[in-house]
A and B are shown apart, each in its own frame.
Chain A
Amino acid sequence: MNVPSVDSQTQESVDWPSDWLRATLGLLALRALAAGPSYGYAIISDLERNGFGTIKGGTLYPLLTRYESAGLLTTEWRAGDAGPGRKYFALTERGRAELARLSADWLRFTETSTRYLDHQRLTKETPA
């Protein structure tokens, strides 16, 4: 699997509050695997390219290990052409179901949050 260069496709990258990333990284990592099996660096690059900043291995791998233990992911080692072998992570059926559930919940949550934070509504409710 070729990893496109990060610079060429990087979206607006912001230093998101670490709490936000901590809360959503699981969902984002599952989404990064939705297209097919992938490995650590490719997942990190994908998230970086899409504007989530650089996720460290020390944050990503424990999460993937937990998901593997929970049956959301399977892993497979494939020999590398030149460098070391690669550990590929793939979604299981249960992982896909969890991704669908979390994505739907997240959309509902962001809609609710956006509605609540709506600027006009905020102005109307502000006491004179």
Chain B
Amino acid sequence: MMQRTSDKKWFDELVMELRMRQVHGSAIGDTIASARELLSDTGQDAEEAFGSARDYAAALDLPSAPRNDWIKKALWPSLLALLAFLVFNLAVVSWTRSEVLLVSPAQLALLATPVLLIALLPLYLEAVIRRIWVCVGISAICALAGLFSAFAAPTDRVDAWLALQPLPWLIGSTLAMVALSILNTIRSSRSRDDERITDPLSTAGKGNGPGAQVMIHVTNWLFPLLAAATLGLALVLR
């Protein structure tokens, strides 16, 4: 069956709404297939037959994973990995130059900004998903905080609040990033069956082809990969 453009948008919104409600992939596949079945029978538009995707997802009230499950499974590991990456970035330049790691309060405050924004994500996640400008704004704040933290880095031990040996921090943050990436890889391989949107009439899943698999692994290992790139850059530029 050819799908109308407006119906495709409606189905995309429905999947997003059901994902936000932590509905299992098999239940999402079943919902999509039964909606398509009725549209094929009646010839109606999706919006005309089911109302808005948001209201329909709410009315279905499908069984879902605990509401805050993703905070434990995704948010906290990501937050810790980001923290480890920021520490790594602080330490790597000093280590490649064989200098002491100097830290100022302003620099710490600026580095804490993205960590804080991500920690508070559960409070405004819906706004980030529904309004692109909120997502752009948050990303811009994080990028600017990172940029300004470089300018706030003390050059003299007198201006520094802390003076530390960089190597232990470098090793510690690297181990933390790798450990969290391994944890995320194990978790994503276990939860793949729950998340995959399956057609009720076939056993094949949808959405986790080879490209999607690569993306999942890249996401899981994003911080170690970025850290390796930063280390390479620091070694080249020293």
Contacts and interface: CB of A to CB of B under 8 A. Distances in A.
Interface string B26-47: 0000100111111011101000
A77 B202 CA distance: 10
A77 B200 contact: yes
**Candidate in A41, A66, A80 with the most chain B CB atoms within 10 angstroms:** A41
Nearest to B58: A62
B56 A87 contact: no
A61 B34 contact: yes
Contacts of A87: 30, 33-34, 37, 200
A71 interface: no
Nearest to B41: A41
A86 B55 CA distance: 24
Contacts of B33: 77, 84-85, 87
B79 interface: no
B2 interface: no
| Chain B binding surface, main DSSP class | helix
A62 B37 contact: no
Interface string B190-229: 0000000000110000000000000000000000000000
Given A56-B49, A62-B61, A41 B1 contact: no
A44 to B, nearest CB: 8
Nearest to A66: B61
Contacts of B41: 40-41, 83
Contacts of A77: 33, 200-201
Contacts of B201: 77, 79, 85
Contacts of A10: none
A85 B37 CA distance: 7
B37 A39 contact: yes
Given A58-B55, A79-B201, 17 more contacts: A40-B38, A41-B37, A44-B42, A56-B50, A57-B38, A58-B49, A58-B51, A61-B38, A61-B50, A62-B61, A65-B60, A66-B61, A77-B200, A77-B201, A85-B37, A87-B33, A87-B200
Closest 3 CB pairs of A and B: A41-B41, A58-B50, A62-B59
20 contacts: A39-B37, A40-B37, A40-B41, A41-B42, A44-B42, A56-B50, A58-B51, A58-B55, A61-B50, A62-B59, A65-B61, A66-B61, A77-B200, A77-B201, A79-B201, A83-B1, A84-B37, A84-B40, A85-B37, A85-B201
Interface of B: 1, 30, 33-38, 40-42, 44, 49-51, 55-56, 59-63, 200-201
